[in-house]
Chain A
């Protein structure tokens, strides 16, 4: 993938397929990220803006998602309140509903309130983190009750307990969860495809899919596009893979 993306135009379609470019060339990246000259006019694929859009959408949905789900997960694990058990059952039960069922009406609802073709519309569904709440709850259960009770006896407020005792203990879990959220949002395709109409607001996968439709034959250009899309997430994943993999196991394998 990487070598092909550096090949001069047309070289990858030779047979047998070359593994190495005859001449290392930046032209595909230049064309993809900056601009291209077609029929006497400069043309911009808007990949760089799409990259920023993706980054913004993923960062916003991760931050907001954490803000919403981490306290909720803690509350479900450690705070006594009426209706807790019933709500928890409802949350677990709703995991069986595939997200696509809600998609069509949600689109109509967003249209009613004027959020179609906005970043808010893209981000909103990702904030309904049922899985995240359950994930945080599971992790919080491992924290001994005595710690919370002791703090309560010392007169700490509930918010104070959460912020200065629970949050530090949940740091690794939060890191894992943010990685999940970030990658999930970065790679999401169907929903941004539905919600976003204006190509200035496209996220990266939507933009790349659009370019792919017109330039499927230009192997080198598309490979450069694949590199641009993959590289950031792969870097994040490789840097934090330990968190990711343990988090994966924490969420799925239960004896």
Chain B
């Protein structure tokens, strides 16, 4: 072994060991766990553990709450991703305009929610969304809309949480888009303007192709993020009202750490993983077709 090689192993071995111990090995164990009936009994003694093959997966298929959680998560992603990516792109475009003043200030103000704790911001939003004295209902009342029980009504709980999540993660995508917009070729933009292209045409034919890869990346990351939604519903609604905000990860947490059905919960985690992977693959395909990647 050369001197370089010895040093390289000295430098990489510790972190690689930890990655294997706390990430790779548990992931493989999750595969194993998902085909057992690991529950509170097995937690007491290994002898109560038995292999049940795909039993957990078939059990999930007949669990209404799992389908509910899956549906809720898909709803979150379906509306949340366009909302989160769209608004932040719009903000980045606005901030990119030369006429906007106080740019750094705006950037930091809009980015700040992203770095703060979900729990703390959820507390604030629960207050804003309060039925009787919340600011949102107060504002709506000013334009003649009666009070809405945002977090207490199964139909409005998802939009309310979406509003909160969008506000929270908005800054991250905005910063990424701002950087991508800076790379849009200025001479191409100038040429389009001289040719009399409208603002929309300029966006569609000059900006969009240039920021395409970034847009795709933001979409992929946002979907993964929305699939992993947990803390927001946990803190805001506890999954309620009438289970309208139970997400897949929330379901996993409850099954695993509330009822100690760790086998079943592992199966849920794997389904979540496969779903995320599938969406990512589809998006990469799409991106390739339109030559974005």
Q: Which chain A residues lie closer than 8 Å to B252 at the CB level?
A: 100, 104
A-B contact pairs, 26 of them (CB 8 A): A4-B127, A71-B10, A80-B5, A96-B276, A100-B252, A101-B27, A103-B256, A105-B26, A107-B257, A125-B23, A133-B15, A158-B3, A158-B7, A187-B118, A189-B117, A208-B117, A208-B120, A209-B119, A212-B122, A212-B126, A222-B126, A229-B120, A234-B115, A245-B111, A253-B180, A255-B213
On whether the beta carbons of A104 and B262 are closer than 8 Å, the reply is yes
**Given contact pairs A128-B18, A229-B119, A241 touches B108 in the complex (Cβ within 8 A):** yes
- Choose the segment among A10-18, A21-29, A35-43, A170-178 that binds chain B (4+ C-beta atoms closer than 8 Å): A10-18
Please state if B14 and A204 are interface contacts (CB–CB under 8 Å).
Answer: no
Within 8 Å CB of A252, what residues of B?
176, 217
A109 within 8 A of B: yes
**Residue of B at shortest CB range from A91?**
B19
Q: Which of A69, A100, A124 neighbours the largest number of chain B CB atoms within 10 Å of its CB?
A: A100
Query: In the bound complex, do residue A127 and residue B7 qualify as a contact, i.e. CB atoms below 8 Å apart?
Result: no
Residue interface bits A200-232, CB-to-B below 8 A is 1, else 0: 000011101100110010010011011001100
Contact bitstring B102-132, A, C-beta under 8 A = 1, else 0: 0000011001100111111111101100101
B1-40 residues at the A interface, CB under 8 angstroms: 2-12, 14-16, 18-19, 21-27, 29-30, 33
B11 is contacted by which of A16, A74, A107, A226 (Cβ under 8 Å)? A74
CB distance from B55 to the nearest CB of A (A): 17
| Dominant secondary structure at the A interface | helix
> Are A234 and B116 within 8 A (Cβ)?
yes
Q: Can you name the residue of chain B whose Cβ is closest to the Cβ of A108?
A: B262
Q: Does B179 contact A (CB under 8 A)?
A: yes
The verdict on B133 contacting chain A, using a C-beta distance below 8 Å, is: yes
> Which residues, 55 to 112 on A, are CB-close (under 8 Å) to B?
68-69, 71-72, 74-76, 79-82, 84, 87, 91, 94, 96-109
> Does B5 contact A109, Cβ atoms closer than 8 Å?
no
In Å, the complex CA distance between A244 and B12 comes to: 25
Q: In whole angstroms, what is the CA distance A196 to B111 when docked?
A: 30
* B15 partner, pick from A13, A15, A129, beta carbons under 8 A: A129
Sort A-B residue pairs by CB-CB distance and give the 9 closest, nearest first: A105-B29, A102-B26, A158-B7, A229-B120, A71-B11, A81-B8, A75-B11, A79-B8, A105-B26
Which chain A residues have a beta carbon within 8 Å of chain B's beta carbons? 1, 4, 12-17, 68-69, 71-72, 74-76, 79-82, 84, 87, 91, 94, 96-109, 124-125, 127-130, 133, 157-159, 162, 183, 186-187, 189-190, 194, 204-206, 208-209, 212-213, 216, 219, 222-223, 225-226, 229-230, 233-234, 237-238, 241, 244-245, 248-249, 252-253, 255
Separation in Å of the A229 CB from the closest CB of chain B? 4
Contact at A106–B119, with CB atoms within 8 Å? Answer: no
Known contacts A189-B117, A253-B179, then 13 further A-B pairs from the complex at CB < 8 Å, ordered by chain A residue = A68-B18, A72-B12, A72-B15, A80-B2, A81-B8, A106-B26, A125-B22, A127-B15, A127-B18, A189-B118, A233-B117, A253-B214, A253-B217
What are the residues of chain B within 8 A of A208 when measuring CB–CB? 117, 119-120, 123
A80 to B4, CA, bound (A): 7
CB of A224 to closest CB in B, whole Å: 10
Residue B54, interface by CB 8 Å = no
The answer to whether A237 touches B112 (Cβ under 8 A) is yes
* Bound: A98/B223 CA distance, A: 12
Q: Is B292 an interface residue (CB 8 A)?
A: no
User: Which residue from A74, A79, A107, A225 sits with its C-beta under 8 Å from B120?
Assistant: A225
Whole-angstrom distance between the Cβ of A79 and the nearest chain B Cβ: 4
Residue from the set B19, B120, B234 with the largest chain A CB neighbour count within 10 Å: B120
Instruction: Say whether, besides A229-B119, A230-B120, A234-B115, A100 and B7 are in contact (CB < 8 Å).
Output: no
Q: Smallest Cβ distance from A255 to chain B, in angstroms?
A: 8
Least Cβ distance of A203 to chain B in Å? 10
- The answer on a CB contact under 8 Å between B8 and A75 is yes
- Closest CB of chain B to A179's CB: distance in Å? 9
Contact residue among A128, A183, A205 (Cβ-Cβ distance under 8 Å from B115) = A183
Q: Which residues of A contact B24 (CB under 8 A)?
A: 94
Q: CA separation between A222 and B124, bound complex, in Å?
A: 8
Chain B residues whose CB sits within 8 angstroms of the CB of A15 once the complex forms: 132-133, 138
A105 to B253, CA, bound (A): 13
CA distance A244 to B108 in the complex (A): 11
A81 contacts B124, CB within 8 Å? no
Contact pick for B33, options A104, A194, A225, CB 8 Å: A104
Q: In the complex, what residue of chain A is closest to B224 when comparing beta carbons? A: A98
- B119 in contact with A205 (CB, 8 Å): yes
Instruction: Considering the complex, give the chain B residue whose CB is closest to the CB of A81.
Output: B8
